[in-house]
A and B are shown apart, each in its own frame.
Chain A
Amino acid sequence: MNTITRRQALGTTAGALTALGIAGATAHAAATDSRATQPVGTVDEVYQGRRIQITPAGGGHHNGHHGGGHGGGHSAGLPTVLIDGRELHVMRNADGTWISVVNHYETFTDPRTLARAAVRELQGAVLAPFAPMGGPA
């Protein structure tokens, strides 16, 4: 389904990502100089045995258009958060905090904190594709 093509598409644009101010998720890149190969906001770490990869949004601002209604397609204004290569659906709140589909009613200060909370919640389980049953009936 379209999740595959979306993931493939994201892969092809990964090299062109621009630095965006993603509060709190910058520690990794901040330790390197301005020629760092990883843009600000990028995370690639192993946490409790799971690989977390975060790439910042590829253009536009954080409050850009989000998916539009049914099934929640990925939007240009959000970072991509992967856990063991599978995309975690995330959303930014108006106050700058973050939620994910596995911790939907609890806010987090930045995508890394959110991803780590998802790893704890998953207890080893793998993420399902977005909208596994295809959106509203």
Chain B
Amino acid sequence: MTVRKNQAGLTAEEKRAFTNAVIELKRTGVYDRFVTTHNGFIMGDTDSGERVGHRSPSFLPWHRRFLIEFEGELQKVDPKVALPYWDWTADRTPRASIWSPDFLGGTGRARDGQVMDGPFAYAGGKFPVNVRVDGRAYLRRSLGSGVAELPTKAEVDAVLNMPVYDTAPWNSSSNGFRNHLEGWRGANLHNRVHVWVGGQMATGASPNDPVFWMHHAYVDKLWAEWQARHPQSPYLPAAGTANVVDLNDTMRPWNDVTPADMLDHRKFYTFDTEPAAAAASQR
């Protein structure tokens, strides 16, 4: 069974296995298919039209399925690899070990934002940015410049306390847990992390930065923590909603998976610290 661990606690060997598998998927072209898919949904999902991957209730189950598929590809390369998660409330500065040369590499240089160290630096020749919104083929970041601070634990807790999964009109103006976690409303959690990293992570082609997967693995964990706090709160909407993926509707691009299929992550993987027991005692 796959166990997703906090990236901060990975061994050197686990870090190397993860980055090597990512680079192998880049080499074979599998990686870039995921970037293309994500950017297609980013550009297609709209508040007033059909919306599946973003700004809608299915933001969370869509990304859960997307990450499961990516993790499956990593495991075809190396069966020992699982997606790590980045708890950005704890590891919240550019000096955190996640940005070390032995893992994801650091921030970009001032002149052009180019990441200059780590396995994904353009000069290493193994991680060209091919699916892109502009002409630049090198991985870029500007940690902490687009927005000064990552979300805090207190801000996360306030969102986890929201009892309703999502509300009409089921888009970026909604109240409820999903939209506050996604970040279009309120303190802004998920969106703000994309902006804090900068570079490709701030664009529609954000999976070009491998930290995308670790950011979303943590967003996914927060969904699991929310479920543990609110065991009686269902995914919404239940049925009959135009342009929106209801509980038992299938999701593009797979067309054979529904939000209902994605509600229990333990069918697919567990976390190093499962949320249920600890959260229940707080209620």
Alpha-carbon gap, A36 to B196, bound state (A): 41
Q: How far is the CA of A133 from the CA of B130 in the complex (A)?
A: 9
Q: Are A67 and B46 in contact (CB under 8 A)?
A: yes
Q: Is B172 in the interface zone, CB < 8 Å from A?
A: yes
In residues 216-233 of chain B, which contact A (Cβ within 8 Å)? none
Most buried by A among B46, B48, B50: B46
A14 within 8 A of B: no
A-B contact count (CB 8 A): 121
Partner of A91, one of B40, B46, B253: B46
Q: A91 CB to closest chain B CB, in angstroms?
A: 6
Interface size of A in residues (CB-CB distance below 8 Å): 38
Task: Determine if B135 and A71 form an interchain contact, defined as CB atoms under 8 angstroms apart.
Answer: no
**CB-based contact A126/B135 at 8 Å:** yes
Contact A101 B48 (CB under 8 A): no
- Distance in Å: Cβ of B79 to nearest Cβ of chain A: 24
Chain A hits for B183, CB < 8 A = 105
Closest 10 CB pairs of A and B: A72-B43, A94-B173, A66-B46, A105-B194, A136-B40, A105-B191, A94-B47, A135-B40, A137-B33, A125-B134
Q: A128 to B134, Cβ gap below 8 A?
A: yes
With both chains docked as a complex, state the minimum distance between the C-beta of A119 and any C-beta of chain B, in angstroms.
Answer: 11
Complex partner residue of A126 from B40, B134, B147, CB under 8 angstroms? B134
Residue B19 interfacial (CB < 8 Å)? no
In the complex, the answer to whether A105 meets B202 with C-beta atoms within 8 Å is: yes
Number of B residues whose C-beta is below 8 Å from A?
46
Interface of A (DSSP majority class): loop
Which A residues touch B202, using CB under 8 A? 102-106, 121
Q: How far is the CA of A92 from the CA of B173 in the complex (A)?
A: 12
For residue B237, CB closer than 8 A to chain A, the reply is no
Of B34, B44, B192, which contacts A72 at CB under 8 A? Answer: B44
Query: How far is A127 from B133 in the complex, measured between Cα atoms in Å?
Result: 6
- Judging by beta carbons under 8 Å apart, are A122 and B134 in contact? yes
17 contacts between A and B (CB under 8 A): A66-B46, A66-B48, A68-B49, A89-B204, A93-B172, A93-B173, A94-B172, A101-B133, A101-B203, A104-B42, A105-B190, A105-B194, A105-B206, A106-B202, A107-B184, A136-B253, A137-B37
- What mask results when residues 113 to 151 of chain B are scored 1 for a CB within 8 Å of chain A, else 0? 100000000000000001111111000000000110000
CB of A34 within 8 Å of the partner chain: no
Residue of A nearest to B185 (CB): A95
Residues 93-137 of A contacting B (Cβ, < 8 Å): 93-95, 101-107, 121-123, 125-128, 130-137
How far, in angstroms, from A101 to B35 measured CA to CA in the complex? Answer: 13
Contact of B39 with A by CB under 8 A: yes
Interface status of B169 (Cβ within 8 A of chain A): yes
With A101-B43, A104-B206, A133-B32 given, is the CB distance from A128 to B49 under 8 Å? Answer: no
Q: Closest B-chain residue to A70, C-beta based? A: B40
Please judge, given known A-B contacts A94-B171, A94-B172, A125-B134, whether A63 and B43 are in contact too, CB under 8 Å: no
